[in-house]
Amino acid sequence: MVELNSCEMELKALVADTGTVNSFVGGYEIRVLNGKRFPWGVVLDYLAGQMHEVWITKEDVLVIKSKPSAI
């Protein structure tokens, strides 16, 4: 569980005030609050490096959801 917390803290540092990061079913839910300033490439690269599958959906804001890959 320590790894999850350190990954969550890293994501929160990357996202800063451009979004919010929360744990979500073993992965993360990132709500994009400022799409123009959001560090898209850095965040998606970080999640891919953690071997996460990633989905982007539109709710009231853009939402990135991830979970560890099954492989």
Q: Strand, coil or helix: what is 19?
A: strand
Instruction: List Cα–Cα distances, 27 to 15, 21, 31, 37, 64, in angstroms.
Output: 16, 10, 13, 23, 10
pLDDT, block means (10 residues), the chain with 71 residues? 72 98 94 98 97 96 95 70
- pTM exceeds 0.75: yes
pLDDT of residue 37: 98
pLDDT of residue 25: 86
Domain of residue 39 covers 2-68
**CATH, residue 33:** 3.90.1070
Residue with tokens 């994009």: 32
Question: In total, how many domains does the chain have?
Answer: 1
- Distinct helix (H) and strand (E) counts, the chain: 2, 4
